[in-house]
Amino acid sequence: MSKPGSRVNRAELADVFGVSLPTIDSWVRDGCPFAEKGAKGREWAFETANVHRWLVDRAVADVAAGYEGEIGGITAEEAKRRKAVADAVVAEIGADEALDQVVNRHEAAADVASFCISLRTGLSNACAKFAGRAAAMTGAPEIQALAEKEINQAFDSARDDLAKRWGDAQGA
């Protein structure tokens, strides 16, 4: 991931802000600042700090426009106050990210996906074990005990994989 104020290309900018390339193209059409215009054989270049500022300014303008119809417009001072509040929120989020006090949405999604894959694998293995062993068993309690053991083992394995991922992330 690039640092604030970094110079990046379209793909890196999309990654930094968690959006698609068509969204970046739409931003450029809407006036997003760029350092270098792309051309044949030359990539677009963006300054992430400038793009971030543009997005904040645009969000403030959108919010102000939303209130315009309700109260007949807002004063320049109120707009500046709201922008200052938005800037403070953005700065607070940035500080929380720097201190690892917030969870990255993409990392959390990857952890959940990994947990689900591990659980699915464990449950599939449990089904295979049921099929092989249950035919030789004589009573329902014996089959239930096997099922509970195998399902618990699948959940324990998935939980251990998730704990390992989280432990690795906290140790880094």
- Give me the DSSP letters along 10-22: HHHHHHHHT--HH
Backbone angles phi, psi at 135, to 5 degrees: -65, -30
Is 2 a member of any domain? no
Asked if residue 79 and residue 144 are part of one domain, the reply reads no
Domain identity same for 94 and 129 = no
Query: What does each of the 172 residues of the chain score in pLDDT, given as a tens digit?
Result: 455 578 999 999 999 999 999 999 999 999 999 999 988 889 999 999 999 999 999 988 887 776 655 555 678 888 899 999 999 998 888 887 777 777 777 888 888 888 899 888 888 888 888 888 888 888 888 888 888 888 998 899 888 888 888 775 554 4
Q: Do 24 and 56 belong together in one domain?
A: yes
Counted domains in the chain? 2
Q: How far apart are CA 110 and CA 112, in angstroms?
A: 5
Same domain, 75 and 123: no
For residue 109, give its domain range.
105-171
Q: Is residue 1 part of a domain?
A: no
In a domain, 32, yes or no: yes
Same-domain pairing of 86 and 124 = no
Whether residues 89 and 28 share a domain: the answer is: yes
